[in-house]
Amino acid sequence: MIISFDIGGSAIKGGIARSETDIVPLGRRATPKEDFAAFVETLRDIIAEIGEQPSRVALSIAGVVDPDTQRLTCANIPCIHGRTLAADLEAELALPVLIANDADCFAMAEAGLGAGRGHRIVFGAILGTGVGGGLVADGRLVNEAGGFAGEWGHGPIIASVAGNPPVAIPAYACGCGQKGCVDTVGGARGLERLHKTLHDLDLASEEIIDQWRRGEEKATRTVDVYIDLVASPLALTINITGATIVPVGGGLSNVAPLLAELDRAVRTRTLRKFDRPLVVPSECRIEPGLIGAALLGLKANAAAS
């Protein structure tokens, strides 16, 4: 039996996995962000509540493990940032511990139990607050040892003109230190940034989407530019990976007509032509982090036995 945890900036959620088809979410606790001892205690409490010793613990975290040093970068939870977290938790919990990036867990969940079922190569894309992604090939996560595979959100790549008629788009500064990243325009904050640039209006992404759906002119323009900017790097990602399906998660993935527009634009730009939807809503709507981490934990158990 595996215990999986989805470690978020505000909450830690737990789950029990006995098999790929038997994954049950547990309760949630507030994330201790500053105190590592309290962080460990929270995991220990959740494990103790189950009353059964797991064979492995698998964590989904909004962070990246350096494949060389095994140190975790996790800006929003200072008490685990910079730690060799798997080794530190193994010492504390006396259990094998596996750590995976949340976008990678999302891709695993979709490949195994979601919209990616039946596809050999699945690229899971996150359009949430920002942009992320993960790649699964033949059921295996292409990033198990850590690293940045699937991170299509970063790199100086955004077109300098976009939309119809074309309008100049500045190379926005990104949190990663570069300029012109997909992350600066592709998530909810990016949509808001584009609306501000194009119309000098500060609107929440939900409001922009609402107005777009009602046919409002400025919001329509913003979404037109958004689709144009995001579709090209996503199409390129599909060319490079050979993915035949792109399940999308994150807040913007809940806007079905937006995904449908993005899908149409992406399919005109990929080399391989698809006569069916390629960029689709995710199907694991509940806790993809928990499910993906559980699947990785179950695979690790199977490999170890």
Tokens of residue 77, six digits: 């939870």
Q: Is 180 exposed, middle or buried (0-12, 13-18, 19+ CB in 10 A)?
A: buried
Query: For residue 117, what are the CA distances in angstroms to 37, 40, 103, 113, 138?
Result: 39, 35, 17, 6, 11
Element (H, E) at 285: none
CB of 173 to Zn ion, least distance (A): 9
Q: Which stretch binds Zn ion (CB under 5 A): 97-105, 110-118, 181-189, 228-236?
A: 181-189
Determine, following the binding rule CB under 5 A, whether residue 131 of this chain makes contact with Zn ion: no
Determine, following the binding rule CB under 5 A, whether residue 176 of this chain makes contact with Zn ion: yes
Cβ count within 10 A of residue 42 = 19
Tokens of residue 13, six digits: 């959620």
Identify which of residues 153 and 289 has a Cβ nearer to Zn ion in the complex. 153
Determine, following the binding rule CB under 5 A, whether residue 56 of this chain makes contact with Zn ion: no
Peptide bond into 165 cis (omega under 30): yes
DSSP string spanning 191-208? HHHHHHHHH-----HHHH
* DSSP-H helix ranges across the chain: 36-50, 85-93, 102-113, 188-199, 205-213, 217-241, 256-267, 288-304
Comparing CA positions, the residue from 234, 235, 237, 204 lying closest to residue 222 is: 204
Strand order in the sheet with 56-61: 22-30, 11-19, 2-7, 56-61, 97-101
CB of 301 to Zn ion, least distance (A): 35
Q: Which stretch binds Zn ion (CB under 5 A): 67-75, 122-130, 150-158, 225-233?
A: 150-158
Query: For residue 296, what are the CA distances in angstroms to 59, 68, 207, 220?
Result: 9, 20, 37, 41
Q: Which amino acid, residue 94?
A: A
Determine, following the binding rule CB under 5 A, whether residue 58 of this chain makes contact with Zn ion: no
Determine, following the binding rule CB under 5 A, whether residue 280 of this chain makes contact with Zn ion: no
CB of 154 to Zn ion, least distance (A): 4
Q: Residues 85 to 114: which contact Zn ion by CB under 5 A?
A: none
Q: Which stretch binds Zn ion (CB under 5 A): 12-20, 31-39, 72-80, 167-175?
A: 167-175
Q: Binding residue for Zn ion (CB under 5 A) from 13, 56, 154, 267?
A: 154
CB of 255 to Zn ion, least distance (A): 23
Q: How far apart are the two ends of the chain, measured CA to CA in Å? A: 13
Identify which of residues 174 and 280 has a Cβ nearer to Zn ion in the complex. 174
Q: Which stretch binds Zn ion (CB under 5 A): 151-159, 221-229, 233-241, 251-259?
A: 151-159
CB of 181 to Zn ion, least distance (A): 3
Identify which of residues 114 and 153 has a Cβ nearer to Zn ion in the complex. 153
Q: Which stretch binds Zn ion (CB under 5 A): 28-36, 173-181, 189-197, 259-267?
A: 173-181
Q: Residues 231 to 260: which contact Zn ion by CB under 5 A?
A: none
Q: Are 62 and 102 in contact (CB under 8 A)?
A: yes
Determine, following the binding rule CB under 5 A, whether residue 293 of this chain makes contact with Zn ion: no
Number of residues that bind Zn ion (CB under 5 A): 6
Determine, following the binding rule CB under 5 A, whether residue 174 of this chain makes contact with Zn ion: yes
Identify which of residues 191 and 278 has a Cβ nearer to Zn ion in the complex. 191
Q: Which stretch binds Zn ion (CB under 5 A): 162-170, 180-188, 197-205, 278-286?
A: 180-188
Q: Where on the chain is the footprint of Zn ion (CB under 5 A)?
A: 154, 174, 176, 178, 181, 183
